[in-house]
Amino acid sequence: MDLDELRRSALRIHDLYDELNRQERGRVWTREEFMLGFMGDAGDLAKLVLTQEGARTSRPDGRAALEHELADCLWSVLILAHRYGIDLESAFVRTMEELEKTISAWLGE
């Protein structure tokens, strides 16, 4: 699955969440609420990484939980990029090129 397919899949789930929230709460999530949801997922991801590294009590579903949280975080990033009108693919390529130049300069290459 490429980035466009991931984005389309994320948007289908986004639309389903919007419909669920309209039915249950009479409104959809704001961009700020998506960001807060992402922060919660990132916190859960941090705990799972600590578990994987032995710094927290292990869980029987540790690997599956880690995969799930990574996917949740990716979903949030894709949705935030969509909500802010950011071409994530272009931004990623540009940022990686900038980082490569910066790190290479630090290394004296």
Q: Which two structure tokens, joined as six digits, stand for 23?
A: 């039915």
CA separation, residue 60 to residues 44, 64, 73, 97 (Å)? 16, 9, 21, 40
Summarize pLDDT for 50-106 with one digit per residue, the tens.
999 989 888 788 899 999 999 999 999 999 999 999 999 999 999 999 999 999 999
CATH tag, 3-107? 1.10.287.1080
In this structure, which amino acid lies at residue 64? A
What percent of the chain clears pLDDT 70, i.e. is strictly above it? 100
Position 14 pLDDT exceeds 80: yes
Structure tokens at 11: 């948007």
- Domain spans of the chain? 3-107
Q: Please give the structure tokens belonging to residue 2.
A: 């490429």
